[in-house]
Amino acid sequence: MTDSQTLLADYLRSGSDVAFRELVNRYIDLVYSTALRLVDGNRQQAEDVAQKVFVDLARTARSLSTEVKLGGWLHRHTCFVAAKTMRGERRRQSRERQAVAMNALHDNSEADFSRVGPILDEAINELADADRAAILLRFFEQQDFRSVGAAIGITEDAARMRVTRALEKLQEMLMNRGVTTTAGALSVALSSNVVQAAPAGLAIAISAAAAFAGASIVSSATASATKAIAMTTLQKAFFTTVLVVAAGTVLHQVRKSSALEAQLSTQQNQHASLTDALAQSGRDLEEALRELDALRLRTENDAAERVRMLGEVARLRRQIAEASADRSGPAAPPITPKPGAGPVEPVQVFVANADARVPMGQTLAVGGWTTAEGLRTIVLVKPTVVDESGNATTVDALGGRPGQIVLESQFFEIPDDVLDETLSALNLASISKLKTDGKATSSHSLFTSDEADLLLKTLKATSGVNLLSTPRILTPDGTQAALSVTENKVVAGREHALGPSLDVEPRITADGSSVNLTVVARLRKESSP
C-alpha cells in the first residue's frame, strides 16, 4: 500500500484526525489548483470547491476501493464538484435574468400589445387550423393546457408544445409585418390583453334584442304567409299587445343590467387585487427559494469548516517545525556506545527531512552528514518548471496544461574548515547550520539565484571540495523522483548501496510562483571500526 492508502486506511479504521489532516495537507494544493482552473480563477469559489471535495472524501471514504489512487480520485471529484458549482452559478444567474425579463415583460405587455393588436387577428387567421385552434383555446378561451389537449384530442404535454410552436409561428408572421417581438413577450401580451371584459349589461341587452328580433322575424314570416287574409280587429289588438309586452321586457332587462354593472365593477376590482396578491406571492416564493439556497450553502460550509481547520492546523504545525529548526542550536555530539551495549550496526543510515516552499529560481540545501573524517555531504536541489519541449516557463504560460519540473542537484563532499571559514567570508553562514552528527534532522536552507551561483562557484574553486555528482531528472508535477550517488558494497556479508540519495516530490503551488519540495535525504555509510 502507498503512504496515502495507509493514511486512508488508518482514518477508516480509527477515525484518526491526524491521518486525515495529513491527507488534507498532502493533497490540498492539487485540489485547490485544479478547482481554481475550473472556476475561471475565482479564488473564493475554488476554496469552496476544495472544502466540498474533502468533505465528500470524509463522507464516502468507506466506499472507496483499498487500491484507489487517491490523487486521481481527488482530481476527478474536484472536476465534478467544480462543474456542478459552475452549473449552479449559471442557473442562479439565469434565474435572475429571467426574473428581470419577466418583470420587464409584465411592465411592457400593454405596450407590446398596442403594436401587435391591429394585425393580430389577421396573422392568427393565416395559421394552420391546428395551430389556430390551439391559440384560440389557450388565450382567447383562456383554457389550461389539459383542457386544450382534451379539446383537440392530444395530451397535456403535446398541447403545451403545440401552443409553443404556434406562438413561434405567429411571432414570425408579425415580424414579417414589421412588428418585432419574442414568443415569450407575445405569450404575456396575449394572456393579459387579448380578451377584455365587455361593458356590464351588454350581453343581456344583446340577448334580449336577439330574442325580440327573432319574434319579429317569425311575425314577418306569418304576415307574408297570410297576406291575402284580412286581419280582424281582434287580431290587430292581440299583435299590438305582444309588441308592447316584448318592448317592456327589453326595458326591464336594460334596467336590470345597470344593477349588474355595479356588481361586475366590484368583481373586477377584486380580481385586480387578487392578481396583485398572486404576483406578490410569486415574488415571495422566489425570495424564499433564494433564502433556501443560501441556507443550504451555509450548512455545507459548516460541514466543511472542520476540513478547513484541519488544513490550517497542518500548515501551522509545518511552519512551527520549520521555525524551530531554524532556531536550533549546534547538533548534539554523537553518542558513543557504552561497553557491553551490543554490536554496532555494520551500516549506519542518516536521514534529513525537508518540506519547503522554494520560489522560482531559488535552491534548497539539505544534508550536512559526516561521510568521512572531517568531510560532510551537502546536497543542493534546484526545481525549474518547464514546458513540453523542456524549456523553462511559467504556470500562466502553460495555460492549464499539466506542468513538468526539472530537478537539478549537486552532491558535494565539503571539509569542515571550508564550511567554517570560506563560506562565512561569503556571508552564507546559514549553510553551516546543516552540520549534524545525529541520525535525523529537518534542517535546511534556501539560497537565492545569486547566492546559489556564488556558492557553487566558490565550492568548485576551493581545494579539497569534491563534487560527487550532478544528477538531473525531469518529473511531472506531483510525481516523486529519486536522485542518488551510491555504490554497491558488501558489508558484513551483505550487499548495501552506500552513499547519499534523495526522494523528492515537487508540487507547483496554486499561485504558480513556487514549488513545494518534499525531500527525504538519506546517507548510508559503513560504520567506523
The model's pLDDT over 309-319, given as tens digits with 9 standing for 90+, comes to 655 755 776 67
Closest CA to 194 of 124, 268, 102: 124
Burial 276-313 (b: 16+ CB within 10 A, else e): eeeeeeeeeeeeeeeeeeeeeeeeeeeebeebbebbee
**Whole-angstrom Cα distance, residue 187 to residue 192?**
9
pLDDT reading at 219 higher than 60: no
Contact 101, 182 (CB under 8 A): no
pLDDT reading at 372 higher than 80: no
Q: 48 pLDDT band (50/70/90 cuts)? A: very high
Residue 174 placed within a domain = yes
pLDDT reading at 53 higher than 80: yes
- The pLDDT tens digits of the residues spanning 59-73 come to 998 888 878 889 899
Residues 288 and 299 in one domain: no
Q: 299 pLDDT band (50/70/90 cuts)? A: low
Residue 29 placed within a domain = yes
Which residue in the block uniquely carries the three cell numbers 398572486? 278
Residues 383 and 507 in one domain: yes
How large is the average pLDDT for residues 299-326?
Answer: 63
Domain CATH for 58: 1.10.1740.10
Phi, psi of 511 (to 5 degrees): -85, -5
Which is more confident, 115 or 203? 115
pLDDT reading at 463 higher than 60: yes
**Whole-angstrom Cα distance, residue 57 to residue 77?**
9
Residues 361 and 472 in one domain: yes
Q: 85 pLDDT band (50/70/90 cuts)? A: very high
Burial class (CB in 10 A: 0-12, 13-18, 19+), 71: middle
Residue 133 placed within a domain = yes
Residue 305 placed within a domain = yes
Cβ neighbors of 233 (< 8 A, separation 6 or more) are none
Residue 488's H or E segment, with its range, is: strand 487-491
**Whole-angstrom Cα distance, residue 39 to residue 383?**
28
Identify the DSSP state of 409. E
Least confident of 12-16, 31-35, 193-197: 193-197
Q: In degrees to the nearest 10, what's the CA dihedral of 438, 439, 443, 449?
A: 110
Residue 16 placed within a domain = yes
How large is the average pLDDT for residues 268-286?
Answer: 78
Identify the DSSP state of 136. I
Which is more confident, 347 or 35? 35
Residue 444 placed within a domain = yes
**Whole-angstrom Cα distance, residue 183 to residue 285?**
25
> Which grid coordinates are listed for 503?
526522494
At residue 213, the pLDDT reads 41
Q: 169 pLDDT band (50/70/90 cuts)? A: very high
Contact 183, 171 (CB under 8 A): yes
At residue 108, the pLDDT reads 53
Residue 183 placed within a domain = yes
Contact 164, 183 (CB under 8 A): yes
Residues 249 and 398 in one domain: no
At residue 54, the pLDDT reads 94
Least confident of 285-294, 419-428, 455-464: 419-428
- The pLDDT tens digits of the residues spanning 86-121 come to 998 888 877 777 666 555 544 555 555 566 666 777
Residues 233 and 274 in one domain: yes
State what percent of residues in the chain have pLDDT above 70.
Answer: 72
Residue 219's H or E segment, with its range, is: helix 202-225
How large is the average pLDDT for residues 174-189?
Answer: 85
How large is the average pLDDT for residues 329-342?
Answer: 50
At residue 332, the pLDDT reads 45
Residues 227 and 177 in one domain: no
Question: What total number of domains does the chain contain?
Answer: 4
Residues 278 and 300 in one domain: no
At residue 50, the pLDDT reads 95
Residue 408's H or E segment, with its range, is: strand 404-415
At residue 228, the pLDDT reads 39
Which is more confident, 293 or 6? 6
Residue 131's H or E segment, with its range, is: helix 129-135
Residue 499 placed within a domain = yes
Residue 115's H or E segment, with its range, is: helix 70-125
Which range scores top for mean pLDDT: 264-268, 421-425, 511-515? Answer: 511-515
Contact 381, 441 (CB under 8 A): no
| Domain end (from 168, 193, 218) | 193
Cβ neighbors of 26 (< 8 A, separation 6 or more) are 4, 7
How large is the average pLDDT for residues 73-87?
Answer: 93
Strands 440-441 and 347-359: parallel
At residue 294, the pLDDT reads 75
How large is the average pLDDT for residues 317-324?
Answer: 68
**Whole-angstrom Cα distance, residue 115 to residue 182?**
13
Q: 21 pLDDT band (50/70/90 cuts)? A: very high
Cα–Cα distances in angstroms (integers) from residue 210 to residues 202, 240, 456, 459, in the given order: 12, 19, 114, 119
Closest CA to 468 of 484, 481, 455: 484
At residue 233, the pLDDT reads 47
Q: What is the largest CA-CA distance in the chain?
A: 161
pLDDT reading at 217 higher than 60: no
Which is more confident, 435 or 231? 435
Contact 318, 25 (CB under 8 A): yes
Return the axis-axis angle of helices 183-193 and 70-125, rounded to nearest 10°. Answer: 50
Residues 509 and 379 in one domain: yes
Residues 238 and 137 in one domain: no
SS3 513: coil
Which residue in the block uniquely carries the three cell numbers 476527478? 76
| Domain end (from 158, 193, 228) | 193
In terms of residue numbers, what domain contains 28? Answer: 3-92+294-314
pLDDT reading at 205 higher than 70: no
How large is the average pLDDT for residues 247-251?
Answer: 51
Least confident of 140-144, 161-165, 306-310: 306-310
Residues 27 and 139 in one domain: no
Give the number of other Cβ atoms within 10 Å of residue 367's Cβ: 29
At residue 303, the pLDDT reads 52
Residues 513 and 441 in one domain: yes
Query: Average per-residue pLDDT in the chain?
Result: 77
Which is more confident, 52 or 445? 52
Residues 228 and 189 in one domain: no
pLDDT reading at 34 higher than 90: yes
